[in-house]
């Protein structure tokens, strides 16, 4: 299988604003340190690690919301490491990000249909009403939801709208950053089932960031473990869970709560 992403020696540093002197520039903080990995087309990869390990920063680099300070990110054969905004524009449709808190990423003053339509307009799609209906259908929401406002929806429904907005663009890649963390267990299960189906039916490649290893175990074929901006393991899920190599991974695994018998995966 061809690789959708190839990441070589990726490093990324950010200005540490907490230590910025009154005059002069802030010191740089190295967040990602020499990452090497590939994401094959059609794969679901889990990115796990403790809080502050660099998961979100890596995610933002993959969809080029952040610019790497070193190394190279290649997306479907194109080096996107240092592409300008103008050169990124035609590619942006192809890698989408879904955020943890849909309430803050969905404009509260816009109806669901308008929210899904906005990026479609931006990327010059035609037949937008039909695309909105199809996207809602894909995420299991009735067409009538197009006229609702975000505050009229449940957390799980809002997360579905976020997913609908992303898949309406027919992307190749979706980065989901802690998207079920704020949901109750049954909504979590529904959103995960939905994602599983979409990956299968739409041929998506998915990177799923989570601190919850039980969720990752169920959804992801491969797991990458980050610790302090470095990859400590990157292996098929079953292998990693059966015999974690790094002490750090073992610590993460030990922190998984026992399965909740009330938790039903359908």
Residue 114 corresponds to which tokens in the numbers above? 């308008």
Query: Is 158 among the residues that bind ligand ADP (CB under 6 A)?
Result: no
Least distance from ligand ADP to the Cβ atom of residue 221, Å: 21
Q: Please count the residues of this chain forming the interface with Mg ion, following the rule CB under 5 A.
A: 2
How do 95-98 and 173-177 pair as beta strands?
parallel
Residue with tokens 């061809």: 2
Query: Is 29 among the residues that bind ligand ADP (CB under 6 A)?
Result: yes
Least distance from ligand ADP to the Cβ atom of residue 4, Å: 21
Query: Is 227 among the residues that bind ligand ADP (CB under 6 A)?
Result: no
Q: Which is nearer to ligand ADP, 100 or 188 (CB)?
A: 100
Query: Is 56 among the residues that bind Mg ion (CB under 5 A)?
Result: yes
Q: Which is nearer to ligand ADP, 134 or 211 (CB)?
A: 211
Q: Please count the residues of this chain forming the interface with ligand ADP, following the rule CB under 6 A.
A: 12
Between residue 51 and residue 110, which ones bind ligand ADP under the rule CB under 6 A? 51-57
* Span of 56-64, 85-93, 199-207, 219-227 interacting with Mg ion by CB under 5 A: 56-64
Q: Is the dihedral of CA 184, 168, 199, 82 positive or negative?
A: negative
Query: Is 53 among the residues that bind Mg ion (CB under 5 A)?
Result: no
Least distance from ligand ADP to the Cβ atom of residue 155, Å: 20
Between residue 37 and residue 56, which ones bind ligand ADP under the rule CB under 6 A? 49, 51-56
How do 70-75 and 44-48 pair as beta strands?
unpaired
Q: Which is nearer to Mg ion, 55 or 160 (CB)?
A: 55
Query: Is 31 among the residues that bind ligand ADP (CB under 6 A)?
Result: yes
Query: Is 190 among the residues that bind Mg ion (CB under 5 A)?
Result: no
Binding partner selected for residue 52 from ligand ADP, Mg ion, none, CB under the kind-specific 5 to 8 Å limit: ligand ADP
Least distance from Mg ion to the Cβ atom of residue 209, Å: 7
Query: Is 210 among the residues that bind ligand ADP (CB under 6 A)?
Result: no
Least distance from ligand ADP to the Cβ atom of residue 100, Å: 10
Query: Is 249 among the residues that bind Mg ion (CB under 5 A)?
Result: no
Across 225-251, b (16+ Cβ under 10 Å) vs e yields bbbebebbbbbebeebbeebeeebbee
Query: Is 100 among the residues that bind Mg ion (CB under 5 A)?
Result: no
Residues that bind ligand ADP (CB under 6 A): 14, 16, 29, 31, 49, 51-57
Residues at the site binding Mg ion, with contacts judged by CB under 5 A: 55-56
């Amino acid at each position: 299988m061809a690789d959708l992403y190839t990441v070589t020696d990726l490093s990324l540093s950010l200005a540490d604003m907490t230590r910025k002197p009154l005059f002069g520039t802030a010191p740089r903080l190295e967040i990602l340190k020499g990452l090497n990995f590939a994401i094959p087309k059609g794969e679901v990869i889990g990115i796990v690690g403790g809080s502050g390990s660099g998961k979100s920063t890596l995610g933002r680099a993959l969809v080029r919301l952040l610019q790497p300070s070193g190394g190279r990110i290649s997306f479907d054969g194109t080096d996107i490491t240092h592409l300008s905004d103008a050169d990124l524009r035609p590619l942006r449709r192809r890698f989408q990000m879904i955020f943890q808190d849909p309430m803050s990423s969905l404009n509260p003053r816009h109806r669901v249909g308008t929210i899904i339509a906005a990026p479609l307009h931006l990327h010059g799609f035609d037949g937008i009403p039909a695309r909105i209906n199809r996207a809602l259908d894909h995420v299991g929401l009735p067409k009538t939801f197009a006229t609702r406002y975000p505050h009229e929806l449940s957390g799980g429904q809002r997360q579905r709208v976020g997913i609908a907005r992303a898949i309406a663009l027919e992307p190749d890649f979706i980065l989901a950053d802690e998207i079920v963390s704020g949901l109750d267990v049954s909504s979590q299960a529904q959103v995960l089932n939905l994602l599983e189906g979409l990956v299968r039916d739409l041929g998506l490649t998915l990177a799923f960031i989570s601190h919850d290893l039980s969720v990752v175990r169920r959804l992801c074929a491969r797991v990458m473990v980050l610790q302090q901006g470095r990859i400590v393991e990157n292996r098929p899920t079953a292998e990693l869970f059966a015999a974690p190599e790094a002490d750090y991974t073992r610590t993460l695994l030990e922190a998984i709560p026992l399965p909740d018998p009330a938790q039903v995966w359908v």
